[in-house]
């Protein structure tokens, strides 16, 4: 039997068509047969499409979740700007960190 719990939270700011959106992403941890897997989901509305859902599954760590999320954002026309994590013990947000996007040529 698997158990799911909240592992981490982060916010990521991105822009598209002159509009800036802050995504709040909750990362979940699922333990299955002694193996730990991370997954995350978030969604937003878009002026050209009604709703966009982002799903990341089976990431090795939180950095892997952020990398995959940034790749999905770029694929859908967003420009990722910065992100920050939440400190669970004090319930405050870390400082914003810029995101460097390297596009494959």
Task: Give the percent of the chain with pLDDT over 90.
Answer: 23
Distances (CA, A) of 70 to 31, 40, 46, 76, 99: 25, 13, 17, 10, 9
Q: What pLDDT, on a 0 to 100 scale, did the predictor assign at position 14? A: 92
Q: What are the pLDDT digits (tens) for 45-90?
A: 666 666 778 888 888 888 899 999 999 899 988 899 999 998 777 7
> CB under 8 Å to 13, separation ≥6 — which residues?
20, 21, 22, 23, 80, 81, 82, 83, 96
Q: What pLDDT, on a 0 to 100 scale, did the predictor assign at position 100? A: 86
Q: What pLDDT, on a 0 to 100 scale, did the predictor assign at position 97? A: 94
Q: What pLDDT, on a 0 to 100 scale, did the predictor assign at position 83? A: 94
Residue matched to tokens 């999905």: 72
Is 97 or 2 the better-scoring residue by pLDDT?
97
Highest mean pLDDT among 39-43, 44-48, 93-97: 93-97
């Amino acid at each position: 039997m698997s158990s799911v719990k909240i592992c981490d939270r982060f916010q990521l700011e991105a822009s598209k068509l002159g509009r800036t959106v802050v995504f709040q992403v909750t990362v979940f941890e699922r333990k299955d047969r002694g193996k730990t897997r991370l997954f995350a989901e978030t969604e937003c509305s878009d002026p050209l499409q009604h709703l966009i859902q982002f799903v990341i599954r089976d990431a090795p760590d939180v950095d892997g979740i952020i990398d995959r999320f940034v790749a999905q954002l770029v694929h859908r026309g967003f420009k990722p700007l910065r992100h920050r994590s939440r400190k669970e013990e004090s319930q405050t947000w870390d400082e914003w960190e810029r995101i460097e996007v390297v596009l494959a040529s």
